[in-house]
Amino acid sequence: VNNDCLEIMRSTGVKDLNGDLIYEGDILHQLDPTVWNPFAVEYCDNTSCFLAGGTVTKSNVKDCELVIIGNIHQNKGLLVKPT
């Protein structure tokens, strides 16, 4: 295995509304069909937390009704607002 081609994706330890673990690089979206505002999950070294438009916590995922719709490696186009 060529390690140069591998990228480690850290788990946030938080699950989306479907029960799937959220990882760094995942793209999250609210269930509200009237709004298209996806966020990529990133780790912030300065604050030592995962961010996706705000801090990724169990309560934020539940309150904002966030689900994983893809990831930045396979679905980067999801971050672009449709025209």
Q: What is the pLDDT of residues 4-53, one digit of tens each?
A: 777 777 999 999 999 999 999 999 999 888 888 899 999 999 988 999 88
| pLDDT > 70? residue 83 | no
Residue 1 pLDDT: 59
Contact 23, 9 (CB under 8 A): yes
pLDDT value of position 78: 87
CA angle at residue 45 from 40 to 50, to 5 degrees? 35
Q: What is the pLDDT of residue 68?
A: 95
**Per-residue pLDDT, 17:** 94
Among 74, 32, 39, CA closest to 53: 39
